[in-house]
A and B are shown apart, each in its own frame.
Chain A
Amino acid sequence: MADDKIRTLEIQSSKTVEIARAITSVLSTLIKYGFVFGCFFYAYLSIKAMSGKATTADINIQGSAAVKLYANRYFADALFFMFGTGGVVYGHYQRRLYRKTTGKLKRLEKYERMLDSNRSSSGLREGYETNPEDVV
């Protein structure tokens, strides 16, 4: 009886998890592509607000906050600053992850040596760095 109850609970909780997964997947996709759609939409609205106003001076654009933000000179600068800084940070962490992953290969060495006692090494330092002795 208790086993049946546990089984029912298990089925119920896995059913809930599966439904949650499906809903989350739909919501995540909506958020992901909704953002792109929003970018297009507000760019269109901003361009539309400016249409027919050919001038070299800045015009006070009429529209929502997002439309005004789009036309703000510093907004694009801030975005590209974030993009550039993010890229540098990303590159740094990717390098660390690469080092960690290649460093992990070293732990296989002792198990490989058990099978092949004559196993030779590439001579790289830490498995990824050029050996200082090899630099002229």
Chain B
Amino acid sequence: MNTQELDIIASFVGLICLWWFWYYCWKPYALARFRQDLFDLRDQLFDSVVEKRYPFTFNSKIYCRTREDLNKMIRFAHEAKPLNVLVALLLDNQSIHAAVKRSQETREQLTNEELELLKFVDIRQKRSLQRYLLTSSFLLWVVIVLMLIPAISEAIFMVYLRKPVLALRAILEKRAISQFLDGVEHQAGQEYLLGAIELQPSCKLAVAR
């Protein structure tokens, strides 16, 4: 067995190790941390009612509903994948948007305190979800990289190529202006020879000298 065959085997083992690490170590960890963040949020909700930070009791509709939503999210956290959202939107964009719109309309009927509570939960939930997706979704990174490529190329252009491009543009502009001026002078000379225009007195003096 030569060194190249050994390299092939090492590459194969390395890829399988990374695959195992991603699917059986990192992804379950990211999911556990996401769930832990949601548990924290649920505990904070509980404490806020105990400490009477909001005018709600454990029987209030808004408290029960928010806790129920958090429980559902904890239970189905493993389904939080960009691919899931993408497929759902591709399948039936209309009904998903209608459901989101209806949820927004329901929120408009809530009191200020209820909205404040929901805002607090929403911000924390959104942050946890973003962190989970960024640390566990390969697809999302592919999309981010694809989106970043134009921005990075523009930044590189601004840093390294801006000066040469500006210099080139200046040269071209100068050439264009001088060509334009050449054209004007040529036309003026032609018109003078044809007698269409007369020279200014100062010009006549200069010609005489």
Pick the interface stretch among A72-80, A116-124, A126-134.
A72-80
Cβ-defined contact, A71 with B4, below 8 A = yes
A110: nearest residue on chain B (CB-CB)? B50
Residues on B facing A (Cβ under 8 Å)? 2-5, 7-19, 21, 23, 25-26, 29, 32-33, 36, 39-40, 43, 79, 81, 83-85, 87-88, 91-92, 95-96, 98-99, 102
Q: Which of A16, A35, A50, A56 has the most CB of B within 10 A?
A: A16
Least distance between B66 CB and chain A CB atoms (Å): 19
What range describes how many residues of A lie at the interface? Answer: 35 or more
Q: Across the interface, which residues of A come within 8 angstroms of B81, CB to CB?
A: 24, 28
Q: How many A-B residue pairs have CB under 8 A?
A: 125
Cβ-defined contact, A70 with B84, below 8 A = no
1/0 contact string of A35-69 vs chain B (CB within 8 Å): 11001100100110010001110110100000001
Q: Across the interface, which residues of B come within 8 angstroms of A50, CB to CB?
A: 2, 4-5, 8
Cβ-defined contact, A28 with B29, below 8 A = no
Cβ-defined contact, A47 with B8, below 8 A = yes
Q: With A27-B83, A56-B2, A71-B8 known to touch, is A79 a contact of B98 (CB < 8 Å)?
A: no
Cβ-defined contact, A83 with B21, below 8 A = yes
1/0 contact string of A90-116 vs chain B (CB within 8 Å): 100110010011001001000000000
Q: With A13-B98, A16-B88 known to touch, is A46 a contact of B16 (CB < 8 Å)?
A: no
Least distance between A35 CB and chain B CB atoms (Å): 6
Bound together, the chains give a CA A107 to CA B50 distance in angstroms of 13
